[in-house]
Chain A
């Protein structure tokens, strides 16, 4: 980077493995780092290695990592002129992004306006429709009053459909309709329930996706009109909406299919003037993609995309924030090999109860194609105040089978003592024949866990 940098010192408004990941990218680009931390994280690795470290509050996130005023004051006191929010915490808080820029600092992420647009499901979906990004087919508004018109909508959307109350939410006020002959009764019943439960009988309907996979597209956009898509990830293995294991590229989906949806995402970014890294999340079933939401930040699972594209996503975020133009073109991006990430949590592998405590032994795996992103060192204490992610083991291989084999060997090499971890769960998943075949849906892991408990 040149001498005319917009910023030379970056405040990392996060903790854990992502704080260290951002710090590494900053150092590789010759940027200084400021670590702000809560009292509970005083002994963190990125805190020791920062150019400036400042304790900004107690363990409670509301008074440290989630305190926008405190973070802005900390930037001022430490001379940082850019803030990287990481993921979680304030990373998708539009008001914070605006406040950072209003203070004359650089927010390493999209504009507050973009974050706000994507944070609201209705405006996000509208923006996607306008940009030709496929959304769940549906009535696109309230159901018409005449029943024959409702039937026409449902036929066009395609059965099965799900009838939902506008005022509903949290799994209430909705009914799945498999066949056209059940539609009339279902609409009448749901409207009545919606009136009673929410005081609003307004309904809409959408295609009901029964066994969708979670497929997402990584994008990277500069401020000079270039928007790239960096392949897709499959994050279908989830428990309680938390991703457990992710892979890139999604097995069994034709590269041309991914390329088409990827190009649409990049086009949508150009259209809305998106800046920085982002992820379009989709449900995917029977060849149909349906937009769910856009994450306007770097994601936990970004390393698998880095492995198959060779692009350092965090470094690119920093360069984009400096105002530089992306040096890679879409045609330079080749998706090579296969990468899988296992999220390691300090938790019981069977009950999932968090297991905070001091890690007394921490032997990491190695060898070709193995990457470990972690802030943990031997003697590190896993705090009970934050999430239990202690690291990510990423396996890369020329083929999916090779990536799996490398990961299984790597996990078998790991020795962790002092806290419980979910390594055993990952080992079981990687050995599972359905997983090995590839393409399981988003309900697979929960079903698999239920069966494991039953047997």
Chain B
């Protein structure tokens, strides 16, 4: 396979720091965590993008974050991607991330799970309007616990 030249430079030399930075940005946007380049001369470059809330967020984008439309209700439940104490307000700004009635976009942070000094973001699996908050702030939530419900945008 051949890469579009404008995306990944020919790998006959190490890319400039600016180019590496650009590739890292693309990786982050594509939600990829690493890219490895190598050539016949043995030159090898691996670019790794740290996960947003390392170390506990590793490999956590799976099951509970999957949009699951609740039968009959038409809402999607946002579930805890890890365990931790639920924090519904932004710790620095004192504003609620996603109050009932708020419109959120897909992947917006709608809550935090705090574990001591660690904070794990809870992201909206779909864009829509927050219909209900089902978990209590400061509650110790287990993995997969329901936090809030979003009525998805009509497409």
Interface on A for B, CB 8 Å cutoff?
A: 39, 53-58, 63-64, 69-70, 73-74, 76-78
- The contact string, 1 if C-beta is below 8 Å from chain A, for chain B 21-59, is 000000000000000000000000000000000011001
Query: Which residues of chain A are near B143, meaning CB under 8 Å?
Result: 39, 55-58, 64
Q: Is there an interface contact between B115 and A73, defined as CB atoms closer than 8 Å?
A: yes
Closest to A59 in B: B63
Q: Is there an interface contact between B83 and A74, defined as CB atoms closer than 8 Å?
A: yes
**Besides the known contacts A73-B83, A73-B84, A76-B116, 6 further A-B residue pairs in the complex with CB atoms under 8 A apart:** A54-B140, A64-B143, A73-B115, A73-B116, A77-B116, A78-B140
Q: Is there an interface contact between A77 and B142, defined as CB atoms closer than 8 Å?
A: no
Query: Which residues of chain B are near A76, meaning CB under 8 Å?
Result: 115-116
A sample of 29 cross-chain residue pairs with beta-carbon separation below 8 angstroms, ordered by A number, consists of A39-B63, A53-B142, A54-B140, A54-B142, A55-B144, A56-B143, A57-B82, A57-B83, A57-B143, A58-B63, A58-B144, A63-B59, A64-B143, A69-B55, A69-B56, A70-B56, A70-B83, A73-B56, A73-B83, A73-B84, A73-B115, A74-B83, A76-B115, A76-B116, A77-B83, A77-B85, A77-B115, A77-B116, A77-B140
Roughly how many angstroms separate A53 CA and B142 CA in the complex, as a whole number? 9
Interface hub of B64, B115, B118 (most chain A Cβ within 10 A): B115
Q: Is there an interface contact between A77 and B62, defined as CB atoms closer than 8 Å?
A: no
Please tell me if B145 contacts chain A, counting CB pairs below 8 Å.
Answer: yes
Query: Which residues of chain B are near A77, meaning CB under 8 Å?
Result: 83-85, 115-116, 140
Closest to B116 in A: A76
Roughly how many angstroms separate A78 CA and B139 CA in the complex, as a whole number? 12
Interface on B for A, CB 8 Å cutoff?
A: 55-56, 59, 62-64, 82-85, 115-116, 118, 140, 142-145
Q: Nearest chain B CB to A62's CB is how many angstroms away?
A: 9
Q: Nearest chain A CB to B136's CB is how many angstroms away?
A: 16
Roughly how many angstroms separate A224 CA and B53 CA in the complex, as a whole number? 44
Q: Nearest chain A CB to B134's CB is how many angstroms away?
A: 16
Query: Which residues of chain B are near A58, meaning CB under 8 Å?
Result: 62-64, 143-144
Q: Is there an interface contact between A56 and B142, defined as CB atoms closer than 8 Å?
A: yes
Query: Which residues of chain A are near B118, meaning CB under 8 Å?
Result: 73
Query: Which residues of chain A are near B83, meaning CB under 8 Å?
Result: 54-57, 70, 73-74, 77
Q: Nearest chain A CB to B11's CB is how many angstroms away?
A: 33
Roughly how many angstroms separate A219 CA and B145 CA in the complex, as a whole number? 42
Roughly how many angstroms separate A78 CA and B141 CA in the complex, as a whole number? 11
Q: Nearest chain A CB to B42's CB is how many angstroms away?
A: 24
Q: Nearest chain B CB to A56's CB is how many angstroms away?
A: 5
Query: Which residues of chain B are near A39, meaning CB under 8 Å?
Result: 63, 143-144
Query: Which residues of chain B are near A56, meaning CB under 8 Å?
Result: 83, 142-143
Query: Which residues of chain A are near B59, meaning CB under 8 Å?
Result: 63
Roughly how many angstroms separate A78 CA and B82 CA in the complex, as a whole number? 15
Query: Which residues of chain A are near B82, meaning CB under 8 Å?
Result: 57
Q: Nearest chain B CB to A5's CB is how many angstroms away?
A: 23
Q: Nearest chain A CB to B61's CB is how many angstroms away?
A: 12
Closest to A55 in B: B142
Q: Nearest chain A CB to B44's CB is how many angstroms away?
A: 27
Roughly how many angstroms separate A58 CA and B63 CA in the complex, as a whole number? 8
Roughly how many angstroms separate A70 CA and B84 CA in the complex, as a whole number? 10
Query: Which residues of chain B are near A63, meaning CB under 8 Å?
Result: 59
Q: Nearest chain B CB to A363's CB is how many angstroms away?
A: 33
Interface hub of B55, B56, B142 (most chain A Cβ within 10 A): B142
Q: Nearest chain A CB to B20's CB is how many angstroms away?
A: 29
Closest CB pairs A-B (n = 10): A55-B142, A55-B143, A73-B115, A57-B143, A54-B142, A39-B144, A56-B83, A58-B63, A54-B83, A56-B143
Roughly how many angstroms separate A356 CA and B66 CA in the complex, as a whole number? 26
Roughly how many angstroms separate A74 CA and B62 CA in the complex, as a whole number? 20
Q: Nearest chain A CB to B147's CB is how many angstroms away?
A: 13
Roughly how many angstroms separate A55 CA and B140 CA in the complex, as a whole number? 10
